[in-house]
Structure 1
C-alpha cells in the first residue's frame, strides 16, 4: 500500500508478519487465558476438588480455537494437542497460575502494567490465529467466504465460543451465558477480523496480507490497552454497533400514554400506600368509634347476664312454691 510505504512501515509490517509466536507470545496467551479462567466463579473450588477437570478446562481455554476449527473442517480435534511443546508449556503455566505458593504468579500477573503487556501480546497471537483459520478454510473451500469467516472466527475466539462446554466440564450449566446470545469484546473483534481477512484473501480488499496484519494488530493492541486503562467495556465501534442495531433490529417501544395508564389503573382505585396512611384526625375518630363500640358490646353482655340470673331466680322460686 502506497500510504504505508510512505510512512515507512512496510518493513515493520513484514517483520511483524514473520515474528515467531513461540514461546513468548504463546506464553502470554496462556497466562491471560488461564487467569480469565481462574477469575470465573467456582473455578478455584474445582481446581482444589478435581485438578484433572481443571486441567482439561484449561486446555480448552488455551487450544479451544484450534479444536473448534478442526471440528468444523472435519479434521481430528486432537491435532491441536499434537505439538508437545505447546501442551507442556500450557500445562506448566496452568500449574503456576492455579497452584503457585501464595498465589504468587496470579498476583504478579494481575498488576496493571504487567497485565497490559500480556494482553497486548495476546492480541498479537489473535491476529495470527484468525488469519490461520481463514487460510485453513480456503485450502478446503476455495473462495467460500462464509466458510472462511466462520472458521477464522472459530480459530480466533474458540475459547469463548466453547465456554458452555468448558463450564459443563467444571459442573456448571448456564446456557444463558452463550456467546451468541451476548457476545463479548473478544468475540466481536475476532468476527470483525475474520471478515476483513476473508475479504483480503478473496481479493475483495486491495491490501497486502502483511499490511492488513499490521493494521489489525495495532488496532487490537491500542483498543485493548485503552479499555484496560479506562476500566471500560465499550470499544471503538460501540456507538456504530448501537446505532445499527437500533435502526435495523430494534423493536419500536410501545410505552403507554398517561391517559391510558390512568384508565388501566381504574376509577376510585387507590394505591397501597394511600390505604396504609390515613390522616391523623380520621385515625383518632376511628379509634374513638372503635372504643365506643367495644364499650357498648360489654354493656350489652352485662345486661344479658343479669337478665339470665333474674330468670333463673324466678324459676327457682316457682319450684319452691310448688313443693310447698
Structure 2
C-alpha cells in the first residue's frame, strides 16, 4: 500500500509539474489581482477620473514580478509586456472588473465559492513563478543562494513589493505600507517558497523538484482556502514569528531610555526651566505638543475663533 501511495504521489507531482498555466490559471491570477486592486481605497475614483492610470496600476500588479526580476537580473524589465496575448487577457479582465455594466463580472467573481477557486488557482501560479525565478537566477549565478532567493521572491511577489510605486501612479504616497515594514501573508509565504526551492536547487534539501512543488502548492492552496472560508487574517506563522522575535531580536538597547528622559524634561526637570528663563513662560508652555502640519494648526485656530 505504501508503494502504491508513493507511486500515486509521484504521478500527481509529475502531473502538477507539467501543468500549463496558460490560459486558465493565468486568467485566474489576473482576476484575483485586479479585484484586490479595485478593493483598495480610492481606486474606483481613479478608474473614473483617469482610466489610463488605473490600467497602468493593474498591469503593474499583474506583471510586477517580471518587471522587478528584469531590473534585478539586468534584463529588459519591459520583456513581460512583450507577450501580447497575456497583456490582452489582463487588459480584458481589468476592463470587465472595473467597467462592466452593473458590475456583473465583479459581483460574479466575488461570489465566495468562485472566488475561493480563483484564489486557489492563483496560488498554483505562485509556485511556478517562484520556481521560475529561482531557475532564472541559477542559470546566471550557479551557487549564489541569496541571489536565487531574492529573484524567486521578487518573481512571485513583485506586485506587492512594488506597491509603493503603484500607489504613486494613483497619486498616493504611503511609505509606511512598505512590504518590508509590514509584510503581508502572500509576501511571507512567497519568501518561504523561495528559500525552500533555492535550498532544493543547491541540493540542501533531499527532495525532488516535483515533490517539493506538490507539497508547497498543497499547503498554500489549502491554507488560502481556509483563511478565506473562516475569515482568518492572522498569519499561520504568527506563533513562530513571535517566538523568534522574542528570542533573537528583543535585546536591551541603550536608546530605550531616551523617550523616558524626554518625558522627564517635558515635566519640568530639564528644558522647561530653560524655557521659563528665556521667555518667562510657564513650564508647561515649552512642552506643549505642536501641530504636526499646517492643517492641524488651521483647524485649531478655527476652533478658537468659533
Query: TM-score, normalised to structure 2's length?
Result: 0.80
Instruction: Structure 2: give runs of 5+ residues left out of the alignment.
Output: 258-266, 268-306
Match of 2:12 in 1: 12
Write the deviation string for residues 146-179 of structure 1: whole angstroms up to 9, x where unpaired.
Answer: 0000000000100000000000001101011000
* Contact 1:130-1:194 at 8 Å conserved across structures: yes
The answer to whether structure 1 residue 82 and structure 2 residue 82 are counterparts is yes
Once the two structures are superposed, residues 125-157 of structure 1 have per-residue CA deviations (whole angstroms, 9 ceiling, x without a partner) of 000000000000011111100000000000010
Gaps of 5+ in 1: 256-264, 266-324
- TM-superposed CA distance for 1:7, in Å, is 6.5
Q: Deviations over 1:253-309 (max 9, x none)?
A: 989xxxxxxxxx9xxxxxxxxxxxxxxxxxxxxxxxxxxxxxxxxxxxxxxxxxxxx
**Structure 2 CA distance for aligned equivalents of residues 98 and 212 of structure 1:** 37
Superposition deviation, residue 4 in structure 1: 9.3
Secondary structure class of the residue paired with 2:22 = coil
What is the rounded CA distance, in whole Å, between the counterparts of 2:4 and 2:117 in structure 1? 25
Cα RMSD of the aligned pairs, angstroms, is 2.0
Report SS of the residue matched to 1:40: coil
Matches within 5 A, 1:114-129: 114-129=114-129
| Alpha-carbon spacing, 1:181–1:83, altered in 2? closer, same or farther (3 Å) | same
1:207-222 matches, within 5 Å, as 207-222=207-222
Match of 1:101 in 2: 101
How far apart are 1:60 and its partner, in Å? Answer: 0.3
Mapped partners of 1:136, 1:3: distance in 2: 35
Equivalent residues in 2 for 1:308-319, closer than 5 Å? none
Post-superposition offset of 1:81 = 0.6
CA gap of 1:67–1:226, structure 2 versus 1, over 3 A, is: same
Alpha-carbon shift at residue 250 of structure 1 (Å): 2.6
Partner of 1:57: 57
Specify whether residues 249 and 4 from structure 1 end up closer, same or farther in structure 2 by C-alpha distance, changes over 3 A only: farther
Distance 1:114 1:15, change over 3 A: same
Deviation string 1:53-86 (CA, Å, 9 cap, x unpaired) is 1110100000000100110000001101111110
What CA deviation, in whole Å up to 9, does each residue of 1:97-150 have, x standing for no partner? 000001111111111111110000000000000000000001111110000000
Deviation at 1:236, TM superposition (A): 2.5
Rounded to whole Å, the distance in 2 between the matches of 1:20 and 1:124 is: 11
Report the counterpart of residue 247 of structure 1 in structure 2.
247
How many residue pairs match? The answer is 257
Question: Residues of 2 paired with 1:70 and 1:145: CA distance?
Answer: 18
> What is the alpha-carbon distance in structure 2 between the residues aligned to residue 65 and residue 54 of structure 1?
18
The answer to whether the 8 Å contact 1:4/1:10 transfers is: no
Work out the CA distance in 1 between the residues paired with 2:3 and 2:139.
31
d(CA) in 1 for partners of 2:194 and 2:142?
Answer: 16
Q: Secondary structure at the match of 1:77?
A: coil
Shift of 1:202: 0.5
Which residue is 1:158 aligned to? 158
Runs of 4+ in 1 over 4 A off after TM superposition: 2-5, 251-255
* Structure of greater Rg: 1
Q: How far apart are residue 251 of structure 1 and its match?
A: 4.9
TM-score by length of 1: 0.76
Moved more, 237-246 or 95-104: 237-246
CA shift in 2, pair 1:134/1:23, >3 Å: same
CA contact (8 A) 1:145 1:198 kept: yes
CA contact (8 A) 1:26 1:122 kept: yes
Q: 1:39 and 2:36 equivalent?
A: no
